Each structure stands twice: as structure tokens, then as C-alpha cells.
Amino acid sequence: MDSILVRGGAELNGRIPIAGAKNACLALMPATLLTEEPLTLTNAPRLSDISTMALLLESLGVDVATRDDGRELALASHGLSGHRADYEIVRRMRASILVLGPLLAREGRAVVSLPGGCAIGARPVDLHQMAMEALGAELELRDGYLHAHAPQGLRGAGIDFPIVSVGATENALMAATLARGTTVIRNAAREPEIVDLAQCLRRMGAQIEGEGTSTITIEGVERLTGATHPVVIDRIELGSYMIAPAITGGRVECLGGARALVANFADKLEEAGIRVEETADGLATHRTGERVRAVHVITEPYPGFPTDLQAQMMALLATADGVSILEERIFENRFMHAPELARMGADIEVHGGTATVRGVPRLRGAPVMATDLRASVSLVLAGLGAEGETRVARVYHLDRGYETVEQKLRACGADIERIRET
Ligand code: EPZ
């Protein structure tokens, strides 16, 4: 398992290209199951999660070709050979559950392994199940698999989510495009990745209104056509790199960044004393003082502060001037980066879903362990500002969601390298 070695202290200056959104691409790829015609995705990120989704779709009979050095995905589902998403693949990536809705809509049946939990929480799929049943499918949980079928096809329905779920909204949205009649999804997730999926489905001939708001209305159609769609930029990679110069000093411009994608997060950075500039090519950030100010962060569904940027924000606030509070309200166990940051000298107290961070002048490099995708990048960010060497182990977590992180940071002056472990 590879590690990343960071020698802290270098100021960061330069430009970082931001890739297409992992979490948009992982929903867009299963949309190919909704049509026999080819779906081409451009600006796709080159990440291990994308390769895992490609493997899953190929196991169902989808042809997946990559072009342009992996940035373009050509998907063709003219003849599906199966409707079973095996545990071996699903356990590696929860987003595999996103084949459930499209398979039911296209084939009228699906057998999808329960994803199982992950480091940050139990990650149940009851809301996915509720949505499919509302659309007329029958689902049975047997030997770790969801067995779903809709012998009479899917019919439009009202789907009222008790809590906001990105994945369940995506499954419901995709399934409803081919259901007979009208579907209204209430308390729908409003993330930019949902908007991107709806725009792609509309290019394929779906009739959708309201994406980006809490109520999405879909008129089912007989069939969908192929399309070519550019994956929206990754707002979480964007936010992660916006924080970097605030930790090290210097100024970094994130190419392709748009403030609208990270509005709440950018407001919070400015509250902490970080300048966020909209430039001709993206967003540039730099610290306005020697230390950032302490702030209070509460993670919420979009457009609130993203849970996927909580760990990175904690790395920044570990050396803020004052006491910060971070409330994680989306996942039940998303503070595993806290004890690792504490190894570097951070002063953090966790009680349930609330972390209290007392800023210290500077962290000290140490060997630390990545536990999940966003925790791993927060440790790299902390290492950039720490005194001495930080070695982040198990960076396969990092490779799931960040393209060539060491190259992007080294190009801005970071002293960072990947240690290949045999
Ligand atoms: C998506 O996960 C993202 N993953 C996550 O990003 C992100 O953290 C999350 O949305 C929240 O924004 C992808 O898009 C592939 P949810 P998802 O359903 O869809 C509970 C990353 O780092 N819930 O919005 O699984 C759930 O336990 C990853 O890129 C149910 O109770 O998240 C959680 O507490 C991590 N029942 C809350 O809802 C369900 O059936 C929000 O989960 C589904 C979810």
C-alpha cells in the first residue's frame, strides 16, 4: 500500500486544474443502463472509483471504452447480459447501489448486494428501497442482496423522502424517467451532482423539472436515447485545494472553480479570514493574516456546508487563532481524522457529532493513517503546514477521489512525494 510523504513548510503558489466530479460521474455512468444507445461522458475524472463502476457495468454486459487518456467514457448497453451487482464489487464502492433504479426501469428486475457499511457510518439503503417500492417494484432482502422486480414495469408516484439522500434521489430520478406517468420527488437532494444528472437525462430525452430544488417532477417516457454529456466540475476537490494555501500561505488558483458550486463553503472560508477571488479561470484563495480565525461549522445537505469538506476544514482550523466547533450532522462517525490530527499535535475534543478544535500555532509532522477518502486528504493538507515530515499511510483511500494529488500540489511548490510500497 502506497504512502504519501510530505515535508511541511513550503508556501504554495500556482494553479491547480480541478477534475470532473467523482460523485457526479458515479451517478451518470449507471444512466447508460436506461438506453440501448451509446452514452458518452466527457471531462470524466481518472479515479479508482470510476474504474470500479466501469467493472460493475461491464459485469452487467455494458461496453465501456475509455478515450482521451481516461477523460472520456464511451458506454453502450445495447445488450445487457445480467442484472446482478455482486458483493465482490459492491463492497468496494457503495455507489454501486445506483444501478438499482436504472436496472429496474430497463429490465424490470435487479439483484444488488447490500453495500455494507463503511468507515464513516452504517450507510443504510432503506430510502432507496422505499423509493423503488413507491414506483411499483417489489423488493426482498435475502442473503445480503436486495432482490427487486417490477413485472408490470414502474409507474409514476409521489416519493416523500423523510431525510435528504443524494443516492436515493439519484436512484428515484433515474428510475422515474421510464416509469409510466408522473413522479414527484419531495425533499429531494439539491446537490450540483443531482442537477448534472438531470441535465444529462434531459439530453437523453427525459422530461424533468425542478432539479436543484427540493421538489423534482418527472414525466415518464417510452424510451431514452443516447447522448454526450460533460461531467460537472468536482466541488469537493475544488474545496480541498482552496484550503491548501490557507494552511501554507501563498495563493493558489483552482482552474474551473465556480463560487456557485461552493457558496456556503466559500462564505465560511471568508469568515475565517481567507480571501476567495473569482478570476477569469476559476477561484483563487489566500490567507489575509498570519493565522486564520476560528469558526463554527455545521454540515448540512446542499446548499449547506458539505460533509465531504468537514475533514479538510478541521485540518485548517487545527492551527486557527481560537476555538472552533465542527458539527457533523450527516454521518454518524466522520471524525476519524481527529485522532490522526491529534498525533500531529492538534488539540481536538470529540463528543458525539461535535468536535471542538482549539487552535495551536503549528502542527508537527508524524506518521498518520488514512481511514477514508476525505480524512486522507485532510491529513495531506495538515502535513503541508506542519513542521517536519508527515507520512500518510493507506493512500488507496486518497486515490479513490483525487487525481494525482502529489503532482498537483508539487506543481505549486509543495515538498511531497508518493512512496510506492511493494
Ligand atoms: C453521497 O453519498 C456521496 N457519495 C457522499 O460522498 C456524500 O458524503 C453524501 O452523498 C452526502 O452528501 C456519492 O455521491 C457517491 P446520502 P450517499 O444518501 O448518497 C442516510 C465522498 O466522500 N441514509 O445523502 O450515500 C445516510 O446514512 C462520499 O465522496 C439513510 O438513512 O449519501 C446519511 O446519514 C462520502 N438511508 C444520510 O442519509 C438511505 O437509504 C445522507 O446520505 C440512504 C441514506
- Map residue 294 onto helix, strand or coil: coil
For ligand 1, residues with CB inside 6 Å are 23, 26, 94-95, 121, 123-128, 163, 165-168, 307-308, 330-331, 373-374, 401
Q: What number is the average pLDDT over the span 190-208?
A: 98
Q: Any residues with CB less than 8 A from the CB of 404 and at least 6 apart, and which?
A: none
269 CA distance to ligand 1 middle (Å)? 24
Mutate to test the pocket of ligand 1, among 308, 328, 334 (most ligand atoms within 8 A of CB): 308
C-alpha cell at 280: 477569469
Radius of gyration of the chain from its Cα atoms, rounded to whole angstroms:
21
Residue length, the chain?
422
pLDDT tens, residue by residue, 343-356: 999 999 999 999 99
Residues whose CB is less than 8 angstroms from the CB of residue 71 and which lie 6 or more positions away in sequence, other chains included? 20, 42, 43, 44, 46
Q: Is 233 helix (H, G, I), strand (E, B) or coil?
A: strand
Give the up-direction half-sphere exposure of residue 94: CA atoms within 13 A in the CB hemisphere.
Answer: 17
Q: From the alpha carbon of 128, which atom of ligand 1 is closest?
A: 40
pLDDT tens string 135-157: 999 999 999 999 999 989 999 99
Strand order in the sheet with 274-278: 14-17, 251-255, 282-287, 274-278
pLDDT recorded at residue 121: 79
Distance between CA atoms of residues 314 and 312, nearest Å: 5
The pTM of the full predicted model, rounded to 2 decimals, is 0.97
One DSSP character per residue, 184-211 reads: EEES----HHHHHHHHHHHHTT-EEE-T
> pLDDT at residue 116 above 80?
no
